[in-house]
């Protein structure tokens, strides 16, 4: 078998030579170019400290604009990409025609079939709000702000992955504008290779304008967050670890150490304070959930109890992650385990707010559907590791970047020997190689599909599969 090159298929064009006015005359949406008064605003991603430098930004009005944009890009040799919000911002999108797809906001829920079809601009919170009272859920992420399509293309980690698997594997069909500007419906039957690649392989194969997902049964969800004084961090995280290793697939638990900044828009009980917390969801009754989490309540005196029924529209409130654009730096790795000594080392790094610049350090319990494999699955790789370590720092001023990165290094040292160096695609920062999130055989197949379908490199995702 011939080796596959890891360089882009074509050399970048000089984008200043592109006749952008021709595109402006063929689309209903608004085209922004460098030098325009609002270019900085429309080109800045949600993660505002990633310096994206696209050649142009098109706020599409409809699917026809996407078709026109891709055909224009293919004709003039410029790469085109889509980014509704920019939660997974990357410098790999430099010199592209960047499509803002927020206007593709249709939501069609079919309760009888148990499916939902959404446009590329729909946020998770918007879809989940439509499912209240149905007894159904989509395999949503923890934050209501990212787009359904964006999260799903990267595999999708849900509160319900332990029970139902990755979000990507719940896809029924995609509507995709291919590298030549053709609009096609992609299913397992119509195009098995492309259907496989889009389910977890990222957006490097076409511009997805809508997606149809299978919905899952969830007549009752109980969950929320318990929080303790940070002095109890080691005790609580050990109780969390024990529960995560024995929990049924219906229960998902994540442990955290929080250092909340003294910002006026934060609720008074948490403003400027530090906590250890456990967030969880349980597919089942409140009584069942409370019996399962009793070891957590018994671990130490609970200071904040935010547990109760969780309708689909409130799923984004469980983790209470930020939804407004912000600067951030991330660290993450999968772990083969987390013993008492490792927890003590982690707490030694992150437990003291005077020494730790990280806003949140998180241990996610995985297992269940994360580890299950199926011949019908997409490119998203099964995860055998039982835990994920993830941390976020907010470099509100440039001087904070160095201490945040030093804290990441200390965290890496705390889990040395337990960290595999692997990560899930949606948890890799700018600059991470593809080999971190895909096994060699998966990456090989993704690259072959890319070269076969898009040899000129017209479509470019935030994580291009050709190249590290």
Please give the pLDDT value at position 142. Answer: 96
- Residue pair 304/128 in contact (Cβ under 8 Å)? The answer is no
User: What's the whole-model pTM score?
Assistant: 0.93
**460 or 265: which carries more pLDDT confidence?**
460
Q: What is the pLDDT of residues 195-205, one digit of tens each?
A: 999 999 999 99
Please give the pLDDT value at position 84. Answer: 87
Task: Using alpha carbons, list the distances in angstroms from residue 419 to 14, 161, 227, 256.
Answer: 42, 21, 27, 18
Please give the pLDDT value at position 12. Answer: 42
Kindly state the average pLDDT of the residues 305-331.
95
List, in order, residues 6 or more apart from 219 with CB less than 8 Å away.
135
Residue 354: CA atoms inside 13 Å, Cβ hemisphere, count? Answer: 0
Please give the pLDDT value at position 2. Answer: 35
Confidence of residue 15 (pLDDT cuts 50, 70, 90): low
- Residue pair 54/98 in contact (Cβ under 8 Å)? The answer is yes
Kindly state the average pLDDT of the residues 119-124.
98
Kindly state the average pLDDT of the residues 281-298.
98
Kindly state the average pLDDT of the residues 143-154.
96
For residue 153 the two structure tokens come to 């293309």
Please give the pLDDT value at position 208. Answer: 98
Between 258-272, 273-287, 305-319, the lowest mean confidence (pLDDT) is in 258-272
Between 191-195, 325-329, 430-434, the lowest mean confidence (pLDDT) is in 430-434
- Residue pair 76/19 in contact (Cβ under 8 Å)? The answer is yes
Kindly state the average pLDDT of the residues 9-17.
53
Q: Pick from 131, 129, 176, 127: which is nearest to 153 by CA?
A: 176
Q: What is the pLDDT of residues 156-179, one digit of tens each?
A: 999 999 999 999 999 999 999 999
Which residues are paired to 258 by β-bridges? Answer: 275, 360
φ/ψ of residue 62, rounded to 5: -165, 180
Q: What is the pLDDT of residues 315-327, one digit of tens each?
A: 999 999 999 999 9
Please give the pLDDT value at position 16. Answer: 66
The full 3-state SS of 315-370, as one line of letters, equals CHHHHCCCCCCECCEEEEEEECCCCHHHHHHHHHHHCCCCCCCEEEEEEEECCHHH
Please give the pLDDT value at position 9. Answer: 37
Confidence of residue 6 (pLDDT cuts 50, 70, 90): very low
Kindly state the average pLDDT of the residues 303-321.
96
Confidence of residue 3 (pLDDT cuts 50, 70, 90): very low
Confidence of residue 432 (pLDDT cuts 50, 70, 90): confident
- The helix or strand, by DSSP H or E, that contains position 257, with its residue range, turns out to be strand 251-259
- The helix or strand, by DSSP H or E, that contains position 58, with its residue range, turns out to be strand 56-59
- The end-to-end CA distance of the chain, in Å, is 20
Kindly state the average pLDDT of the residues 430-441.
89
Mean pLDDT computed over every residue of the chain: 94
Please give the pLDDT value at position 4. Answer: 38
- Residue pair 211/264 in contact (Cβ under 8 Å)? The answer is no
């Amino acid at each position: 078998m011939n080796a596959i090159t890891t360089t882009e298929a074509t050399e970048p064009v000089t984008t200043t030579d592109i006749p952008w006015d021709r595109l402006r005359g063929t689309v209903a949406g608004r085209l922004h170019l460098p030098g325009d008064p609002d270019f900085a605003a429309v080109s800045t991603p949600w993660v505002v400290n990633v310096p994206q430098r696209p050649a142009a930004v098109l706020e599409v009005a409809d699917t026809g604009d996407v078709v026109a944009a891709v055909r224009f890009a293919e004709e003039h040799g410029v790469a085109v990409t889509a980014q509704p919000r920019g939660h997974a911002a990357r410098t790999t999108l430099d010199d592209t025609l960047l499509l803002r797809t927020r206007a593709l906001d249709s939501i069609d829920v079919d309760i009888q079939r148990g499916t939902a079809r959404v446009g590329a601009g729909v946020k998770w919170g918007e879809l989940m709000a439509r499912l209240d009272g149905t007894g159904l859920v989509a395999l949503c992420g923890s934050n209501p702000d990212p787009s359904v399509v964006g999260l799903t293309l990267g595999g999708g980690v849900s509160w319900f992955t332990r029970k139902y698997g990755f979000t990507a594997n719940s896809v029924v069909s995609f509507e995709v504008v291919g590298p030549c500007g053709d609009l096609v419906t992609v299913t397992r039957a119509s195009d098995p290779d492309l259907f496989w690649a889009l389910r977890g392989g990222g957006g490097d194969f076409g511009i997805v304008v809508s997606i149809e997902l299978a919905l899952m049964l969830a007549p009752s969800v109980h969950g929320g967050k318990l929080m303790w004084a940070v002095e109890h961090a080691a005790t609580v995280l050990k109780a969390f670890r024990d529960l995560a290793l024995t929990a049924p697939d219906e229960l998902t638990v994540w442990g955290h150490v929080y250092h909340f900044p003294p910002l006026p828009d934060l609720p008074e009980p948490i403003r400027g304070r530090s906590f250890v917390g456990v967030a969880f969801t349980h597919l089942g009754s409140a009584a069942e959930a409370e019996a399962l989490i009793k070891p957590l309540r018994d671990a130490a005196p609970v200071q904040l109890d935010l547990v109760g029924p969780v309708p689909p529209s409130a799923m984004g409130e469980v983790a209470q992650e930020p939804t407004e654009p912000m600067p951030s730096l991330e660290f993450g790795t999968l772990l083969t385990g987390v013993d008492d000594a490792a927890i003590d080392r982690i707490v030694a790094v992150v437990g003291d707010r005077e020494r730790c610049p990280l806003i949140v350090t998180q241990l996610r319990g995985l297992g269940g559907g994360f580890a299950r494999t199926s011949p019908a699955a997409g490119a998203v790789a099964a995860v055998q590791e039982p835990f994920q370590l993830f941390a976020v720092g907010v470099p509100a001023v440039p001087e904070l970047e160095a201490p945040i990165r030093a804290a990441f290094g200390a965290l890496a040292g705390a889990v040395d020997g337990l960290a595999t160096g692997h990560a899930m695609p949606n948890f890799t920062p700018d600059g991470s190689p593809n080999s971190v999130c895909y096994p060699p055989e998966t990456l090989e197949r993704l690259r072959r599909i890319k070269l076969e379908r898009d040899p000129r490199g017209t479509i470019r995702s935030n994580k291009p599969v050709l190249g590290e």
